[in-house]
Chain A
Amino acid sequence: MTDAAIAEPPVSTPADPAKGEPLLQVSNVEVIYNHVILVLKGVSLTVPKGGITAILGGNGAGKTTTLKAISGLLKSERGEVTKGRILYRGADVAAQDPAEGVKRGLIQVMEGRHCFEHLTVEENLLTGAYTRSNSADVKRDLEMVYEYFPRLKERRTSQAGYTSGGEQQMCAIGRALMSRPETVLLDEPSMGLAPQLVEQIFEIVKSVNEQEGVTFLLAEQNTNVALRYAHYGYILENGRVVMDGEAKALRENQDVKEFYLGMSDQGRKSFRDVRSYRRRKRWLS
């Protein structure tokens, strides 16, 4: 058990000691939708510069809400950050417009792709550069995106609505990269894709992270893949962080293995053990 790993505060366990300064700090954030539905009950996490950080958890755990609270998209869904602070490079961004976030270099790729389906793939990518004005730079970045996603170059003149799910996911990620982001909030990139394609997309995320130095914070249900590519992970349950640690440590963790990776070396556990797991959980908030 990695109680020791958990006990360490997240700030002091950067993904990579060389690039360890925290870029994004979410502390004790509470989110309420429609003035009544409490979704996040005090979530805290830290994203180091240049790392890939994963938020894991099941349906309704609050992964998407966490990302939307950071990017500012929450407001357009009548959600509201009622407590806590979200600091991006030291500035409080909890109340910002998504457009301000994009200008700061913080952009979200939404769950379920959300491409502009009547625009061509290339127009979709160009829309990603909406907040930028230097057209020479934009043109260069378009070529960069095509280099990472050669498939998109082949389909550049097709309407995005007629491309496949994988191509749409690539298009959505490429569109976000067109804004020259410092941090990409990537929501559920594996959704509805074949395992091989998921692997391919995570490979691209990894190479963008390594070559362009883009920081990623991704929300994933596919714990297995996410923990292989991420440096650090947080596990969310019912709007709270219940566990966090280095990806490697989480992969080895008995509870994570059992509850999220579906592996167990002791056979079936009795219900009493499950309850003891619940009791053992720490509420990090």
Chain B
Amino acid sequence: MGVGLLNTIEVILNGLMTGVMYSLVALGFVLIFKASGIFNYAQGVMSLFAALTLVGFQSGQIPFAELINAVFGTDVHHFGFTMPAILATLCALAVMVLFAIIVERLILKHLVNQEPIILFMATIGLAYFLEGFGDMMWGSDIKTMDLGLPQGGSFWFEDVTKTWAAEGSDYWGMYVDVLDVIAASVAICLVIALTLFSQYTKTGRALRAVADDHQAALSVGISLRYIWVVTWAIAGLVALVAGSMWGAKSGVQFSLSLIALKALPVLMLGGFTSIPGAIVGGMMIGVGEKLFEFYVGPMVGGATENWFAYVLALVFLVFRPQGLFGDKIIERV
């Protein structure tokens, strides 16, 4: 194989990995949008909050330490023990479920039957509240997340791919980050689990029923409030997975909430209502922006990754507004 072709394959592989990371974030949006018609602006911040909580538990940080110190004049910051990653993850998940219950009690319950735009505004408020709350609870310093996952390039893969090049050519093998591979596998498992859940369980069927027609769902005895808690808890789980993967990759800091912005073009591409759409859309954006950067970037001075996704999304909005996999609107008179 020629070096050029191998380089292209490497770019595509890395694009797919990045794309899956985008998909993870987009998935949270899709879940809530499908179940309640709400575009949850707070999804990115939920990822940040979940990641902060995970790191906080793992490193044995005392929640609200700053606040306690300020009020009581003490100087506490850590409990002095650390938690294994798996236990910390479970605790963080519990916090996200609790968060779902609180959101339902304090916000959604009171906004039943309001216009979607009002619910959207509520999620904007929620996003900023949660950002401040996360700051108050865990502090605003940048934290490193160490889940014990291997990081860095895979030497094995590099060695294997080195032999693919023609004899005597100057090729050093492909670089693939192991963490990216793990993140992609986790994402795939998550999607499979979610699909099985929504397709084959009673609650999953009820989730889809509510997404279709919440009035009819009410009439057959499905409790909307319970379904909302379930949806937000699942979105919290997805946020936790996305937050911990992104956190492990680039540290847990407040700019983590901005990954939500990367999910928007993914949603426009894949459709707001389709889980497979979020996955495929993410991969297309990932691969597309890497390939574009690799081939066209040098001609225009680089830094195309920042805007390529949005331009692609715009093109899609013009030609296929419901996205690649968005629900076709079924209507019969």
A interface residues, Cβ below 8 angstroms from B: 71, 73, 76-78, 97-99, 101-103, 107-110, 114-119, 123, 126-128, 130-131, 159, 161-162, 164-165, 168, 172, 175-176, 179, 192
Shortest A99–chain B CB gap in Å is 4
Please, how many angstroms separate the alpha-carbon atoms of A168 and B216 in the complex? Answer: 13
User: With the chains together, A73 CA to B206 CA distance in Å?
Assistant: 18
Interface contact A108-B213, CB-CB below 8 Å: no
The closest CB in chain A to the CB of B220 belongs to A128
Chain B residues with CB below 8 A from A78, complex form: 113
Using a CB-CB cutoff of 8 Å, which residues 182-202 of chain B contact chain A? 202
Knowing A73-B215, A76-B113, the reply to whether A119 touches B220 (Cβ < 8 A) is: no
Contact B202 A130 (CB under 8 A): yes
B70 interface residue, CB < 8 Å from A? Answer: no
B162 at the interface (CB under 8 A from A): no
Contact of B223 with A by CB under 8 A: yes
Question: Is B212 close to A, CB under 8 A?
Answer: yes
Q: Which of B113, B209, B223 contacts A116 (CB 8 A)?
A: B209
Given A130-B222, A179-B220, A179-B221, 13 other A-B contacts at CB below 8 A?
A78-B113, A98-B219, A98-B221, A107-B219, A107-B220, A110-B216, A118-B211, A126-B202, A127-B206, A127-B217, A131-B220, A161-B330, A165-B333
Q: Are A116 and B221 in contact (CB under 8 A)?
A: no
Residues of B within 8 A of A114 (CB): 213, 215-216, 219
Known: A116-B209, A117-B330. A73 touches B221 (CB 8 A): no
Measured between beta carbons, the chain A residues less than 8 angstroms from B223 are 97, 99
Interchain nearest-CB distance for B279 vs A (Å): 19
In whole angstroms, how far apart are the Cα atoms of A123 and B208 in the complex?
10
The answer to whether A127 touches B218 (Cβ under 8 A) is no
For A71, A123, A161, A164, the residue with the greatest tally of chain B CB atoms inside 10 Å of its CB is A161
Q: Which residues of B contact A130 (CB under 8 A)?
A: 202, 206, 220-222
Which residues of A lie under 8 Å from residue B206 when comparing CB positions? 127, 130
The smallest beta-carbon distance between A173 and chain B, in angstroms, is 12
User: Could you say which residues of chain B place their CB within 8 Å of the CB of A179?
Assistant: 220-221
Q: Are B332 and A99 in contact (CB under 8 A)?
A: no
Q: Nearest Cβ in chain B — how far from A47, in angstroms?
A: 18
Say how far B290's CB is from chain A's closest CB, in angstroms: 34
Question: What separation, in Å, do the CA atoms of A83 and B214 have in the docked complex?
Answer: 27
In the complex, residue of chain B having the shortest beta-carbon distance to the beta carbon of A124: B209
B159 contacts which chain A residues (CB < 8 A)?
A: none
Identify the closest chain B residue to A109 (Cβ).
Answer: B219
Instruction: Give the B interface residue count (CB, 8 A).
Output: 25
Q: Is the CB of B221 within 8 A of A107?
A: yes
| Chain B residue at smallest Cβ distance from A108 | B219
Contact A126 B219 (CB under 8 A): no
Q: Which residues of the other chain, A, contact B112 by a CB distance below 8 angstroms?
A: 76
Which residues of A lie under 8 Å from residue B158 when comparing CB positions? none
A102, A108, A116, A117: residue with the most chain B Cβ atoms closer than 10 Å:
A116
Bound together, the chains give a CA A126 to CA B202 distance in angstroms of: 9
Instruction: Kindly report which residue of chain B lies nearest to residue A133, judged by CB atoms.
Output: B202
Question: Is A99 a contact partner of B221 (Cβ separation < 8 A)?
Answer: yes
Residues of A within 8 A of B209 (CB): 116, 119, 127
Which chain B residue shows the least CB distance to A163? B332
CB pair A119 B205 closer than 8 Å: yes
Known A117-B213, A127-B205, A130-B206; judge A162-B219 contact (CB<8 A).
no
From B221, B327, B333, contact of A118 by CB (8 A): B327
Contacts of A159 in B (CB 8 A): 330
Do A110 and B215 touch across chains, with their CB atoms under 8 A apart?
A: yes
A103 touches B221 (CB 8 A): yes
Closest 5 CB pairs of A and B: A102-B221, A161-B330, A114-B216, A116-B212, A131-B221
Q: Chain A residues with Cβ under 8 A from B220's Cβ? A: 102, 107, 127-128, 130-131, 175-176, 179
> How close is B207's CB to chain A, nearest CB, in angstroms?
11
CB distance from A245 to the nearest CB of B (A): 30
Central interface residue in B208, B218, B219, B333, by most chain A CB within 10 Å: B219
Selected A-B contacts with CB under 8 Å, 18 pairs: A73-B215, A76-B112, A77-B113, A97-B223, A98-B218, A107-B221, A116-B213, A116-B216, A117-B213, A118-B211, A119-B205, A119-B209, A127-B217, A130-B202, A130-B221, A161-B330, A161-B331, A161-B332
The minimal Cβ–Cβ distance linking A102 to chain B, given in whole angstroms, is 3
Please, which residue of chain A has its CB at the minimum distance from the CB of B224? A76
Cβ–Cβ < 8 Å partners of B217 in chain A: 116, 127
B209, B216, B220: residue with the most chain A Cβ atoms closer than 10 Å: B220
In whole angstroms, how far apart are the Cα atoms of A109 and B213 in the complex? 13
Select the residue from B113, B205, B206, B214 with max chain A CB neighbours within 10 A: B205
Kindly state the separation between the CA atoms of A71 and B330 in the bound complex, as whole angstroms: 28
Report B86 CB to chain A, min CB distance, Å. 33
Asked if A119 and B212 sit within 8 Å, CB to CB, the answer is: yes
Q: How far is the CA of A175 from the CA of B217 in the complex (A)?
A: 11
